[in-house]
């Protein structure tokens, strides 16, 4: 009866293994999940993207006929964003408007946003902000403080433009063209 | 010991998570643009320094009947053309100067600029400016890309050539028109 002699021993060992198997549960692992919704910032000119003065008058302030209507949309984290700024700028301040032989500098182009920062006509001759704009060829149009209440918001502003030729040398006849850039940046 | 190390690594990873979402400062939008065009129209002007030229006393049978000189400034600001021309003309050549029913025709009125030779106002119109038989081109100034923007001042001398003519006493009045044209 050798089986009978060792049989009880096997059973006892099995029982021990069974108990050991329960004790060998795996170490709990933590997987941290992180999903980031990137901030968004967009500028759209809804009207007035083409501005024309048909007949410029020398030594006078010439108004562009209609405002540039600008819509700025943002969706940002208020804990990481202080302000949303909108900047208008010319790439080459000395040549804001270019003619055949004569250039009109950005200091002669004035901007005003009644709902923004320059509520009176101001030369586009400031420095850039937050890396946006050009030195001496920029104008801050507004800076809105971001809070939880407006972290995802939009605003529309009218930018009025003028060409100030008071004291400027008489322009040669012809067309003077340029591009005004509009860009928002968070601060 | 191993557990503690794992927990420490996990905790450190969790702490680092927010930093990947930081830096919304400096977030920039697209660049929207506004196209600006300002056009300076071409101009051409003639400005006399006086609106009246007088001849106090006419001498019949003579061409020494000089009016007081007039200075004319002609200014141009152009985008095209090859010449600026100044034309003087009388609206009714047969009646350049009028004294009641007595007339002095434009053929008896002569003009010149800058001491050139006198010539009568008997030419044709030029480019729609002037009157046939009553016009005189006073100058033709060449212009090109480098001189589309300029001005010049000339002295206009006028006289009556009454050689072979006798006039009735009285005041003879007339109007000389001056107009520049680009061709």
User: Which residue in B128, B50, B21 sits closest to B85, CA to CA?
Assistant: B128
Instruction: Express each pLDDT in A124-148 by its tens digit.
Output: 999 999 999 999 999 999 999 999 9
Token duo for residue B173: 């009045």
Instruction: Express each pLDDT in A137-184 by its tens digit.
Output: 999 999 999 999 999 999 999 999 999 999 999 999 999 999 999 999
C-beta atoms of A55 and B14 within 8 A = no
User: Does residue A56 lie within any of the structural domains?
Assistant: yes
User: Does residue A8 lie within any of the structural domains?
Assistant: no
Distance CA A161, CA A163 (A): 7
CATH number of the domain where residue A57 is located? 2.60.40
Q: How high does pLDDT run on average in chain A?
A: 91
User: Does residue A174 lie within any of the structural domains?
Assistant: yes
C-beta atoms of B29 and A174 within 8 A = no
The number of beta carbons lying within 10 Å of the beta carbon of residue B94 is: 12
Q: Mean of the pLDDT values across residues A46-53? A: 98
User: Does residue A31 lie within any of the structural domains?
Assistant: no
> Model confidence at B16, in pLDDT bands (50, 70, 90)?
very low
From B14, B34, B79, residue closest to A48, measured CB to CB = B34
Distance CA A70, CA A43 (A): 7
C-beta atoms of A77 and B21 within 8 A = yes
Q: Which residue is listed with tokens 């809804």? A: A46
C-beta atoms of A56 and B79 within 8 A = no
Is residue B155 within 8 A of residue B71, CB to CB? The reply is yes
Over 60: is that where the pLDDT of B48 sits? yes
Distance CA A86, CA B74 (A): 48
Architecture in CATH for domain B43-182:
Sandwich (2.60)
Q: Mean of the pLDDT values across residues B57-70? A: 98
C-beta atoms of A173 and B33 within 8 A = no
Is residue B97 within 8 A of residue B150, CB to CB? The reply is no
Question: What does DSSP assign to residue A94?
Answer: G
User: Does residue A163 lie within any of the structural domains?
Assistant: yes
Contacts of B149 in chain A (CB under 8 A): 170, 172-173
SS3 A63: strand
Q: Max alpha carbon distance in chain B (Å)?
A: 135
Q: What is the 3-state secondary structure (H, E, C) of chain B?
A: CHHHHHHHHHHHHHHHHHHHHCCCCCCECCCEEEEEEEEECCEEEEEECCCCCCCCCCCCCCCCCECCCEEEEEEEECCCCCEEEEEEECCCHHHCEEECCEEECHHHEEEEECCCCCEECCECCECCECCCCCEEEEEEEECCHHHCEEEEEEEEEEEECCCCCCCCCCCCECCCEEEEEEC
Token duo for residue B56: 């106090």
Does pTM top 0.90 for this prediction?
no
User: Does residue A4 lie within any of the structural domains?
Assistant: no
What's residue B172's pLDDT?
A: 98
Distance CA A105, CA A65 (A): 20
Token duo for residue A155: 């605003």
Instruction: Express each pLDDT in A3-20 by its tens digit.
Output: 445 555 544 445 445 545
C-beta atoms of A185 and B26 within 8 A = yes
Q: What residues contact A83, with CB distance under 8 A and at least 6 apart? A: A143, A144, A145, A146, A186, A187
C-beta atoms of B39 and A52 within 8 A = yes
The range of the structural domain enclosing residue A95 comes to 40-186
User: Nearest CA of chain A to the CA of B16: how many Å?
Assistant: 11
What's residue A1's pLDDT?
A: 43
Token duo for residue B171: 């005041």
Q: Which helix (H) or strand (E) holds A182?
A: strand A174-186
From B33, B79, B149, residue closest to A179, measured CB to CB = B33
Distance CA B78, CA B43 (A): 6
The percentage of residues in chain B with a pLDDT greater than 70, rounded to a whole number, is: 87
What's residue B2's pLDDT?
A: 52
Structural domain boundaries in chain B: 43-182
User: Does residue A181 lie within any of the structural domains?
Assistant: yes
Best of B36, B78, B81 to disrupt the A interface (most A CBs within 10 Å) is B36
From B10, B38, B148, residue closest to A176, measured CB to CB = B38
Contacts of B26 in chain A (CB under 8 A): 130-131, 185-187
ipTM of the complex: 0.84
Domain count, chain A: 1
Q: Which helix (H) or strand (E) holds A52?
A: strand A50-53
Is residue A86 within 8 A of residue A182, CB to CB? The reply is yes
Best of B11, B12, B29, B143 to disrupt the A interface (most A CBs within 10 Å) is B29
What's residue A27's pLDDT?
A: 86
Q: Which residue is listed with tokens 């033709």? A: B140
Instruction: Express each pLDDT in B103-158 by its tens digit.
Output: 999 999 999 999 999 999 999 999 999 999 999 999 999 999 989 999 999 999 99
Q: Which helix (H) or strand (E) holds A165?
A: none
> Model confidence at B12, in pLDDT bands (50, 70, 90)?
very low
Closest residue in B to A77 (Cα) is B24
Q: Which is more confidently placed, B173 or B146?
A: B173
From A32, A68, A97, residue closest to B17, measured CB to CB = A32
User: Nearest CA of chain B to the CA of A77: how many Å?
Assistant: 7
C-beta atoms of B37 and A130 within 8 A = no
User: Does residue A148 lie within any of the structural domains?
Assistant: yes
């Amino acid at each position: 009866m050798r089986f009978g002699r060792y049989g009880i021993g096997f059973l006892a060992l099995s029982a021990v293994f069974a108990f050991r198997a329960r004790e060998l549960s795996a170490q709990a692992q933590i997987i941290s999940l992180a999903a980031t919704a990137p901030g968004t910032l967009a500028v759209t000119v809804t009207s007035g993207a083409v501005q024309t003065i048909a007949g410029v008058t020398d030594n006078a302030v010439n108004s562009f006929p209609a405002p540039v209507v600008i819509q700025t949309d943002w969706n940002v984290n208020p804990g990481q964003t202080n302000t949303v700024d909108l900047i208008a700028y010319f790439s080459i301040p000395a040549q804001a408007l270019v003619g055949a032989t004569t250039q009109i500098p950005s200091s002669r182009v004035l901007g005003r946003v009644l709902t923004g920062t320059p509520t009176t006509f101001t030369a586009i001759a400031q420095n850039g902000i937050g890396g946006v704009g050009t030195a001496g060829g920029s104008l801050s149009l507004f800076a809105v403080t971001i809070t939880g209440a407006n972290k995802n918001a939009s605003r529309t502003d009218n930018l009025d433009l003028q060409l100030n030729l008071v004291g400027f040398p008489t322009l040669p006849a012809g067309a003077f063209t340029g591009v005004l850039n509009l860009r928002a940046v968070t601060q | 010991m191993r557990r503690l190390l794992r927990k420490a690594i996990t905790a450190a990873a969790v702490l680092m998570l927010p930093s990947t979402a930081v830096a919304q400062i400096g977030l920039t939008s697209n660049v929207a643009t506004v196209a600006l065009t300002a056009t300076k129209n071409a101009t051409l002007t003639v400005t006399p320094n006086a609106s009246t030229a007088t001849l106090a006393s006419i001498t019949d049978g003579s061409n020494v009947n000089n009016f007081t000189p007039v200075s004319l400034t002609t200014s141009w600001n152009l985008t095209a053309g090859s010449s600026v021309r100044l034309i003087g003309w009388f609206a009714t050549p047969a009646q350049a100067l009028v004294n009641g029913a007595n007339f002095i025709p434009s053929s008896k009125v002569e003009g010149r600029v800058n001491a050139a030779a006198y010539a009568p106002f008997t030419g044709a119109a030029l480019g729609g400016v002037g009157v046939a038989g009553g016009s005189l081109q006073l100058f033709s100034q060449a212009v090109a890309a480098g001189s589309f923007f300029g001005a010049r001042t000339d002295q206009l001398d006028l006289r009556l050539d009454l050689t072979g003519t006798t006039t009735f006493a009285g005041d003879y009045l007339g109007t000389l028109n001056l107009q520049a044209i680009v061709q």
